[in-house]
Amino acid sequence: MYLFIVVGLYYQLAQSGRRWLILFVSYFFYGFWSVPFSGLLAFSTLVDWSASCWIERSKTKAWKRAGLLASLIANLGVLGLFKYADFFSDSAYGLFHMRPWPHMNWILPLGISFYTFQTMSYTIDVFRGHIKAHRSIVDVAMYVSFFPQLVAGPIVRASDLLPQLQTKQEFEWSNIRQGIARIIWGLVKKVYFADAMAHIVTVVYGQSSDYSGWSLLLATYAFAIQIYCDFSGYSDIAIGSAKLLGIHLPENFDAPYLTLSIQEFWRRWHMTLSSWLRDYIYIPLGGNRRGVFRTYVNLMITMLLGGLWHGAGWHWVVWGGLQGVVMSIERLMGLGNDTTNSWIVRFFRWFVTFHIVCISWVLFRATDLSNSMFIFKRIFTMADGQFSIGPAPIAVLLILLFVEQMKLRNRWLALFDSHPVLARWVTYLAILLFSLTFMQSSNPEFIYFQF
Q: What are the catalytic residues?
A: 310
Cis peptide before 393 (omega within 30 of 0): no
